[in-house]
Amino acid sequence: MGKRMLYTLATMTGTAVGVGASAVGLLRHQAGALRKAFDDDAQRTYSTFAEAVAPPRGYDDDDSAALAIIGDSWLCGIDVDDPALAPPKLIARGLGRILGTTVRVQSTARPSTLSEDLPRQVDEILRSAWLSRQLSDSWTEQRRFAIISIGTGDIIHPIHGTIGIPVLNQAINRLQREGRYTVFVLVCPNLGGLPGLRDPLKTSLRRTSRVLAGSQWLAALAARATPLRATGSLSGTTRKSLLNESGRFPSTLGYAQLSSTVLAAIADRIEAPIEVDRSLDIPEKGEAARRPAPVPQSETEPETDPCPALATEVAP
């Protein structure tokens, strides 16, 4: 009986080791294929920007604001056919509407960027004559904004320890100190939620990207920057329509949604003086708002506004 037990245990151990080795081999194969696709993304088309985006007609205050876009494919607008629909242009146009001024935008974001590339991108922004403070009469943090997205490449191409966090912290500090920028950080998305992935790679990417996103969030807060959730931005419809067919970066619709998230954060940070009535976003309230007001019972009763919910409040 003892020999049989030893034989059984040995067989079970050998099977477990075999399954474990098989899982490791599969993980390596999946990761290698993803890394190759990630590296190939560097050859895809993307939009470069160094231009001035005008505000709506009649709202220009004859000054300008500066907008720097830094990081990877989650901000550069990879595979977007119309440059006007890429995040740099979308954010700049929205910022011009918020501030009522011309926005000078420059993007150094590139596909397949790693954290080790971040210092060079920041150098390019800080040396840019196009974004110079001398081009604006109001060059305080209320007029200078930098958006950073980094981390996806660090997950797909693993690096040692937490090297990406010190690099991010240094980039934020330099942008604030040398460029007088108000900085926003789009933290690493949940890569485990990308379509087409299977275990064990799916689980590995989910855990690793969540850890990195949390570290980036804390680093941004510690450096007085504003962290934003990329994954939370890509919600409200099916995830598939918000990502490119490859699943590695946003679709045109996804870029638009990310841009709106950034603009909402900017408006909140600078306390933009425009309040938008959202009552029509709720169907039942919207229907009530469209119904005509009741007829006054007496001539002395004041007349009511038939569409009170359509009014948009503008703070003085």
- Would you write out the chain's pLDDT as a tens digit for each of its 316 residues? 555 444 444 444 443 443 445 667 777 878 788 888 888 888 888 878 899 998 877 777 788 999 999 999 899 999 898 999 999 999 999 999 998 899 999 999 999 999 999 999 999 999 999 999 888 887 777 899 999 999 999 998 876 555 689 999 999 999 999 999 999 999 998 888 777 778 889 999 999 999 999 999 999 999 999 999 987 777 654 556 788 877 788 889 999 999 999 999 999 998 876 554 445 444 444 444 444 445 454 444 444 443 333 333 333 3
**Nearest alpha carbon to residue 189 among 245, 237, 248, 110:** 248
pLDDT of residue 273: 62
pLDDT of residue 274: 54
pLDDT of residue 131: 95
Any residues with CB less than 8 A from the CB of 123 and at least 6 apart, and which?
none
pLDDT of residue 180: 94
| Cα 281 from Cα 215, distance rounded (Å) | 35
Task: Tell me the C-alpha to C-alpha distance, in Å, between residue 100 and each of 54, 77, 86, 87, 96.
Answer: 9, 25, 21, 19, 5
| Cα 262 from Cα 177, distance rounded (Å) | 22
Model pTM greater than 0.85? Answer: no
| Cα 298 from Cα 90, distance rounded (Å) | 52
The length of the chain in residues reads 316
